[in-house]
Amino acid sequence: MGRLQGKVAIVTGAAKGIGAATAKALAREGAKVVCTDLDEAAGQAIADDIANEGGEATFIRHDVVNEAEWEAVAKRAEEKFGGLHVLVNNAGIAPEAGPIEEKTLESWQHTISVDLDSVFLGCKHGIRTIKKYTSKAGAGGSIINLSSILGLVGQPGASDYNAAKGGVRLLTKSAALECAGAGYNIRVNSVHPGYIDTPMVKNVINRGVMGNEAVGANEMRELLIMQHPVGRLGIADEIANAILFLASDESSFMTGSEVVVDGGYTTR
């Protein structure tokens, strides 16, 4: 307990899955957490759960592709909790699979907007805010960007998601170098989960499309499990634990790094 005592964090997409697990994990370690999501009822429920467990949290509805709303979220952290030290850019979507030749420009742009542009906006406003509360000799800041195994390896039918998550990987490295060069004492790292048993992955399973081929939901689940040498899907808490490590001072010599938590998916 207390690994994040005195720190303030923002977690986007906090209403469910990895975001919810992360918000709770950071709060258990002493962080005051601003939970954001489009799902107001579920997001508020997570903030309430944290409060019921003795932590401090607040919820704000947040469209992560809206820059004005990013400004409002950063302001909420400062006004409610007195600063900002940690930002977890977790919000994202998993678009329907399909070949490049059949994807529409509209669907491509939507995926890039939600899965990449939002991380740019988060880094922009996160850095602007966090740097006010860090110094070379004082408390450090940390930005954690959720990428994916599909930000490291390609997959047919996932060109838009591959492009967005690959972009998050290199955006992270650029932001890390800028923060280090400016002396902001803000570290920026990316996390690359394998397939995690969350509502988003369950939606992917229910669609039943592997690459560009249709399969049943049960077969889809088994196919995904088979791609992980450990023989199962991950759980949200396993990713939250990696994020917690990056948010804490235990990872103080890490910036621009890729933390891969994928059950061995990318080892083959």
Which helix H or strand E contains 130, and what residues bound it? helix 118-130
161 in catalytic set: yes
Q: pLDDT tens digit string along 159-216?
A: 999 999 999 999 999 999 999 999 999 999 999 999 999 988 888 898 887 776 788 8
| Domain contains 214 | no
Active-site pick, 161, 184, 195, 265: 161
Q: pLDDT tens digit string along 7-55?
A: 999 999 999 999 999 999 999 999 999 999 999 999 999 999 999 999 9
Number of domains, the chain: 1
| Domain contains 251 | yes
| Domain contains 44 | yes
Check which CATH number belongs to the domain holding 85 and give it: 3.40.50.720
| Domain contains 220 | no
**Mean pLDDT within 246-255:** 97
| Domain contains 208 | no
Distance (Å, whole) CA 227 – CA 65: 32
| Domain contains 175 | yes
The sign of the dihedral angle between the CA atoms of 40, 42, 45, 47 is: negative
| Domain contains 158 | yes
| Domain contains 171 | yes
Residue 94's domain spans which residues? 8-194+235-267
